[in-house]
Structure 1
Amino acid sequence: MRKKILVLHKILGLTTGIVVFVVAITGCCWAFRDEIESLYDDYKTVTPQETAILTPTEAREIAQTVFPDNSIHGTLFKNSNDAAVEVIFYDAEPEFYQSVFLNPYSGEIIQVDNHMSGFFAFILKGHMRMWLPKSIGEQVVRISILIFLFIIISGIVLWWPKKRKNLKQRVTFDWKSTTRWKRKNFDLHTVIGFYICWLALIIAFTGSVISYDWLKYVVYVSTGGDKVPAFIIPENVSETPKDAYAVLPMDNLITKLKKEAPHAESYELHYPESDSTSVYVEISNTKGLYYDSDYRFFDQNTLEEIETPAIFGKYKDAKFADKVLRMNYDIHIGAIGGIVGKIIAFLVSLIVATLPITGVLLWYGRNYKKKKA
């Protein structure tokens, strides 16, 4: 059985090695994206003024002059007097993702950011789809990471010593001046692999949950979930009025939410897609975290709050299974543990990137031995 597992471990490792290497290396680079980008985002700060800020409708109209043919995903209002307003544009086909930053007091266009270009956009494309076309690359990465889960588990089985006395040899580097490079490479692959295998398993599994809806459903149901594990925007509860509003109710929503949630980090308002769709606002409660955000839905005519049947609602109403699924992304990038968690995720990803290299060298050394004189 161990021989069969070893054969599978080698074949699968060789076929998916390049994908695992790229995904791991790009994951390292992504870990500190927020901290690095904060070093050069001075344009997101403005001078506070004693005047009213832009309403969501005014922000939308100004930003739409920059990209009149593209769809606005939402407008982000920071809970700070010196923060710019960010209007986010997004279209799936053809893919378009840019932000227009506005002075919240004057409406002046400060800067336009293209999220599809630059270093971190390049890194994300490699992490998500190996820089291949989206339809092909995403499938390659998804399948490879799912296989990598089996590789990790089979590696633990192969690592496990048959005798207890050999355990010390499997958990320490016993290198001497006479130790050959093959032995050192074997230790690098097995000893280091053992120490990070459990964390690598968590990162790979949470990545697969992000990729596969069926796996997300399995995780949710198996942890006792009884809601819909998806994002659902409810319909309005009132009828669409015939007369136009002098001031759209939606324009009073940010002021209302700032009073109700004064300690929030930001409020991202999403415009209704039709006359019958509710307005939803994502309230970020903690900087750098997503799982504890509040997703609130309001009738666009009366601002009456509407409950959603899905797991993405108010965080205080979330049950254990809801929280598990909500935390998945923050666990994946290490943000769940703050800066320490990100450092751990960075180091684990970096070490995982070395495993395909030491594995290939291990395979090469065993299959292409030098002939004795």
Structure 2
Amino acid sequence: MGKKRNKANTTFRKIIRNTHLVLGLGSGLIIFIMAVTGCLWAFQEEIEAFTSPLPEIQMQNAAVIPPVEARRLAHEVFPGRMVHGTLYGAANDPVKVIFYELEPEFYHTVYLHPYTGKVLHIDNNLTGFFPFVLEGHRYLWLPKPIGEQLVQWSTVIFAVMLLTGIVLWWPKNRKNRRQRYTLDWKETTKWKRKNYDLHSVIGFYISFIAVIIVFTGLVMAFESFKAGTYYSLGGQKETLWRVPENNATTNQIALNGNGMDLLFNKLRSEYPQAVDLEFHYPATEEEAIYVEIGYEEGIYYNADYRFYDQNTLEEITSPTIYGVYAETGFPEKVMRMNYDIHVGAIGGLPGKVLAFFASLICASLPVTGFLLWYGRTYKKKPVQLKPTRKKRVAVPVD
């Protein structure tokens, strides 16, 4: 009985090892790219704030240009282009008018002086170092339909590799367990042994954090996985993002196209504690005005998403998980935290540092894994010395 059990265990571990090996060799390069770009993205906001500071503006006792005027001024720079929204930060920050169109992709930001409306700066958000990094992380710098699929399924594969890696790491007996927990290196330890320990021991420790990163990545990669996770937590709302339609069918208060400006003045007085207010212009006559209210720099989960009838400015309740944060339940809060957990922002600067090193170590796993496979597959054959023939010594005959 014991022999059969040992044989079954050996067969099981062999299957796990082969699965781990094949998946690793097939997706190693993709996982490496995803991990390295994720590592670089962790401090994107801090680095960009340091390398590309906003123009300094002196605070004035004057009115800030409202959203309708901001859009008009920005359209002088990009006439005919779709304005996604206008972002208002601190009183001495520029007003950011954001242009975005999906096909063909057009993504620019026009920075306006908050009091005079003068154009201070223009950014192409599709060029530069961090847009390049994000493109690699999401699409591997390939056409979106191809790269997106490769990234999605490589994330699934990496999840399987983490699980199979833990199974392979688990020692067969208690005597070997201590060795699996530590890097017990000596001066005589060879590099192959060190490489094995880096892959197995370090990989084991980082797997607990990597599982969280991978899980949150799957939530963003697959809408079905996101919905399944949300509903398994007891959620009942829609998970797909959408802006609701207006409740009213007639213009009851004769806004004359200035409803956005009236809403702007109203919300600025109601939310003085807000770090920023972003106003999104309705794409159609039926669509509501969408406003995002942020309360912390670099944190997105606790922002308020509010929607207003563009004819009456009455607030509309969203049927999705995106609404007023204080009014959401546990399932909605968990799903809205997903991105901040993925990049480590949920834990502030220490969380980003943790995400940075976790991604860096994850990037090393395909490298150390490949070296393990290569070293075992292409071992140096021992040099065989040719047998030397003994010379016959002539013995003198007396």
| TM-score computed with the length of structure 1 as normaliser | 0.97
The answer on 1:257 being equivalent to 2:267 is yes
Relative to structure 1, the CA distance from residue 243 to residue 341 in structure 2 (aligned partners, 3 Å threshold; closer, same or farther) is closer
Q: How far apart are residue 245 of structure 1 and its match?
A: 4.1
The answer to whether the aligner puts 1:70 opposite 2:72 as a matched pair is no
* Structure-1 separation of matches of 2:257 and 2:79: 23
Letter of the 2:192 counterpart: K
Aligned partner of 2:279 in structure 1 is 269
CA distance in 2, matches of 1:296, 1:193: 43
2:26 aligned residue:
15
> Structure 1 residue 42: deviation in Å?
3.4
Letter in 1 for 2:104: P
1:106 aligned to which of 104, 108, 116: 116
- How many angstroms does 1:55 deviate by? 1.1
User: Letter of the aligned partner of 1:185 in structure 2?
Assistant: N
- Letter of the structure 1 residue corresponding to residue 60 of structure 2: Q
Of 94, 99, 113, which residue of structure 2 is paired with 1:84?
Answer: 94
Paired residues of 1:230 and 1:312 also in contact (CA < 8 A): no
In the alignment, the residues of structure 2 paired with residue 247 and residue 361 of structure 1 have an alpha-carbon distance, to the nearest angstrom, of 65
Superposed displacement of residue 287, structure 1: 1.1
Match of 2:41 among 30, 47, 66: 30
Matches within 5 A, 1:200-215: 200-215=210-225
What residue in structure 2 maps to residue 297 of structure 1?
307
- In the TM superposition, structure 1's runs of 4+ consecutive aligned residues that sit over 6 Å from their partners are none
Q: What stretches of structure 2 of length at least 5 have no aligned partner? A: 1-11, 384-398
Partners of 2:252 and 2:302 in 1: CA distance: 38
Q: Displacement of 1:286 after TM fit? A: 1.3
Give the aligned partner of residue 393 of structure 2: none
- Computing the radius of gyration from Cα coordinates, the structure with the larger value is 2
Return the letter of the residue paired with 1:138. Answer: E
Which residue of structure 2 lines up, in the alignment, with residue 153 of structure 1?
163
In 1, Cα distance between the equivalents of 2:254 and 2:112? 27
Distance in 1 separating the partners of 2:242 and 2:35? 32
Q: Could you give the per-residue CA deviations for residues 187-242 of structure 1, whole angstroms, max 9, x where no partner exists?
A: 01000001100101110111111011000001101111011112221111112339
Alpha-carbon offset, residue 64 of structure 1? 1.0
Shift of 1:44: 4.2
- Two-structure CA RMSD over aligned residues (Å): 1.3
Task: Report if the CA contact (8 A) 1:17-1:356 is conserved.
Answer: yes
CA contact (8 A) 1:249 1:300 kept: yes
Structure 1: which 5+ residue stretches go unaligned? none
Query: Aligned AA for 2:33?
Result: V
The one-letter code sitting in structure 2 at the alignment partner of 1:171 is: Y
Distance 2:149 2:53 in 1: 38
Amino acid across the alignment from 1:56: P
Aligned partner of 2:133 among 120, 123, 141 = 123
1:157-182, CA deviations, whole angstroms, 9 ceiling, x for partnerless residues? 00000101111100111111221211
